[in-house]
Amino acid sequence: MRGLVLALACVAGPGAAQDFAEVGALFAERCVVCHSGADAPLGLRLDTLEGVLAGSENGPVVVAGDAASPLLQRLRGEAEPQMPLDGPPFLDPAEIAIVEAWVMAGMPDGDVALAPLPDRQRPAPGEPVRWADVEPIFLKACIKCHSDNSKLGAPPEGLRLDSLASVLQGGERLAVLPGNPEMSELWRRVVGLADPRMPFDGPPWLPEEDIRLIRDWIEQGAPDAEGVAAPIPVGAQVRLRGVLTGEAEIDGARFVIDGSTRVDDRPRIGDEAEMRGVVQPDGSVVAERFRDR
Ligand code: HEC
Ligand code: HEC
């Protein structure tokens, strides 16, 4: 392999071969936010030359001299989802040409030694959790579907998870109620309380540690990068489907039933129930509809 790489590099001629320096810098800027660490998507690490050459769990992503290498196809959008996954913007033609020239030249290393990035640090239980701590989870495990670059064509249920603002906005209904994980469909989906469990292409599900991190982040008010908690989304629509665990409580999520609530076929504790409600200024949820399922 090494011999082949060197041979091809020589064929391209000294000076003509694009070495890894520029390619590595490009990957560092646009790829390693996801493609690094133990949870790199499909096991593909792009933080070192060794990682690039090792490829993914599907095999090599660059093949010396092959313009149809999987990685190049992803950059050009010939294989979906297009990379970088958090685009647009994607790489411009000049940047793609740099990577292409390097692959065509047989992936010469150019004596560039990039140190592997360390694994993602997770705040310990009880420590503050900020957006920056949970963002990589969404980038690596969710936005291939929940973004405008979705491999499903459009983000399911209109839910985008590619920025803090989108996560807080939710889709057709609220996904995160700051301060209240039980009432947050997003936590319910990743922990498996609501069906279908997320990520949709799992198992594997998220590691326990990441599920805990998402829960703590929501419980602490879904703070931004500076630690400022999110505002209460007054008036947002919520839907809960699960097991009635109290008079007005589904899977531990409490809501308010009042004179305005339309109750059909009142569920009993232990029954499958559905509640549709609206978030109030104090963060509570008043049920508009409550029924047996
Ligand atoms: C926001 C996160 C993110 C960024 C940034 C990103 N990727 Fe990806 N990448 C993914 C995910 C997630 C997948 C798996 C998609 C799937 O399951 O289809 C993937 C898949 C790939 C694959 C396919 C591997 C295979 O086995 O088929 C290649 C190649 C790839 N990425 C290259 C890149 C390159 C090159 C960049 C930077 C220019 C980049 N990615 C940036 C998240 C990202
Ligand atoms: C392979 C595609 C895919 C991936 C990856 C994925 N989802 Fe989903 N997601 C879906 C689909 C499809 C639905 C709609 C399913 C349904 O309710 O029938 C959905 C629904 C949801 C919903 C419910 C939205 C609502 O209003 O009912 C939430 C919340 C959600 N996903 C969160 C996540 C999170 C968090 C991740 C990452 C940990 C994730 N998803 C990863 C495809 C995906």
Find the Cα–Cα–Cα–Cα dihedral 154, 164, 40, 84, rounded to 10°.
50
- Cα 43 to ligand 1 centroid, rounded to whole Å: 10
Rg (CA), the chain: 23
- Cα 184 to ligand 2 centroid, rounded to whole Å: 13
Give the whole-angstrom CA distance, residue 249 versus residue 234: 20
According to the model, what pLDDT value does residue 1 have?
40
CA of 186, closest atom in ligand 2: 29
Q: Kindly list the protein residues whose Cβ atom lies closer than 6 A to any atom of ligand 1.
A: 27, 30-31, 33-35, 41-42, 44, 46, 56, 58, 61, 70-71, 74-75, 81, 83-86, 91, 139-140, 143-144, 151
According to the model, what pLDDT value does residue 225 have?
96
State whether the beta carbon of 194 lies less than 6 angstroms from ligand 2.
no
Candidates 288, 291, 293; CA nearest to 259 is 288
- Cα 132 to ligand 1 centroid, rounded to whole Å: 20
Structure tokens at 126: 């009880």
Structure tokens at 249: 């409580």
Count CA atoms within 13 Å of residue 91 on its CB side. Answer: 26
Structure tokens at 28: 């560092």
Handedness of CA 95, 100, 102, 107 (dihedral sign): positive
Omega before residue 203 within 30° of 0, cis: yes
State whether the beta carbon of 276 lies less than 6 angstroms from ligand 2.
no
- Cα 126 to ligand 2 centroid, rounded to whole Å: 28
- Cα 202 to ligand 2 centroid, rounded to whole Å: 11
Buried b (16+ CB within 10 A) or exposed e, 16-38: ebbbbebbbebbeebbbbbbbbe
According to the model, what pLDDT value does residue 17 have?
53
According to the model, what pLDDT value does residue 205 have?
97
Neighbours of 188 (CB within 10 A): 24
State whether the beta carbon of 185 lies less than 6 angstroms from ligand 2.
yes
- Cα 200 to ligand 1 centroid, rounded to whole Å: 17
Ligand 2, atom 43: closest residue by C-alpha? 200
Contact 36, 46 (CB under 8 A): yes
According to the model, what pLDDT value does residue 8 have?
42
Print pLDDT tens along the chain (293 aa): 444 444 444 444 444 457 899 999 999 999 999 999 999 999 999 999 999 999 999 999 999 999 999 999 999 999 999 999 999 999 999 999 999 999 999 999 887 778 899 999 999 999 999 999 999 999 999 999 999 999 899 999 999 999 999 999 999 999 999 999 999 999 999 999 999 999 999 999 999 999 999 999 999 999 999 999 999 999 999 999 999 999 999 999 999 999 999 999 999 999 999 999 999 999 999 999 999 99
